[in-house]
């Protein structure tokens, strides 16, 4: 297999997942900032959506979208179960991944793209206006405060299991801290959780 990699939180999610699984997958760096992902041959042969990361399989087929890639690696790889070892565990992890992705990651990322990242993305994708960017950031912050309350007494998002939900949240919060969307001061549970996650060797992947 081969991972098409770049800067940004999405590729980091997959790299961290790979590290937690103890897998060794070669990487091919793609110039995201230079727009290589938006031009052929990448967007014609690797990922028609022009996004990163993408995973090339041994048979030459390519999978994109971080959750789909991680689901595939969970099935073919060894190491700890990061989505779940039972139907109930897998459902619980997928529930949290969807909540975090829709309510925190998406508004955070779109708020960045429409504000600080506007010069990069304005000619690539449709963006909301400045007022919309502010509101998107506020939505992400509000949902983080909500999640902070639920993390009281838990080690990880899904309880005592470290999962893809933790990886997804960690990578986007690390990104948010770099682009003016830090963890709210009052989110003490999230801050403690973040430090626990940051201490894992995979966090440096």
How far is Cα 48 from Cα 33, in angstroms, rounded to an integer? 18
Q: Helix, strand, or coil here: 27?
A: strand
pLDDT value at residue 183: 97
Do 109 and 172 meet the contact criterion of CB atoms below 8 Å apart?
Answer: yes
Low-confidence ranges of the chain (pLDDT < 50): none
Cβ count near 186 (within 10 Å): 11
Tokens representing 46 are: 């690797």
pLDDT, one tens digit per residue, over 82-137 is 999 999 999 999 999 999 999 999 999 989 888 888 888 778 878 888 789 999 99
Do 155 and 84 meet the contact criterion of CB atoms below 8 Å apart?
Answer: no
Q: What pTM was estimated for this model as a whole? A: 0.95
Do 29 and 5 meet the contact criterion of CB atoms below 8 Å apart?
Answer: yes
């Amino acid at each position: 297999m081969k991972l098409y990699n770049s800067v940004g939180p999405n590729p980091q999610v997959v790299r961290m997942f790979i590290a937690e699984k103890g897998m060794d997958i070669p990487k091919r760096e793609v110039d995201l900032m230079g727009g290589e992902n938006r031009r052929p041959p990448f967007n014609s042969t690797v990922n028609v959506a022009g996004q990163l990361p993408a995973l090339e399989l041994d048979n030459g087929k390519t999978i994109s979208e971080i959750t789909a890639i991680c689901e595939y690696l969970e099935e073919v790889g060894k190491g700890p179960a990061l989505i779940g070892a039972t139907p109930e565990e897998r459902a619980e992890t997928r529930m949290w991944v969807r909540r975090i992705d829709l309510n925190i990651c998406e508004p955070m990322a779109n708020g960045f793209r429409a504000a600080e990242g506007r010069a990069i993305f304005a000619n690539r994708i449709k963006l909301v206006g400045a007022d919309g960017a502010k509101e998107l950031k506020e939505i992400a912050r509000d949902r983080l405060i909500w999640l902070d309350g639920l993390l009281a007494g838990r080690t990880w998002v899904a309880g005592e299991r470290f999962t893809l939900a933790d990886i997804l949240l960690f990578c986007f919060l690390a990104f948010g801290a770099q682009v003016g969307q830090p963890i709210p001061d009052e989110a003490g549970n999230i801050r403690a959780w973040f430090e626990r996650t940051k201490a894992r060797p995979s966090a440096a992947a």
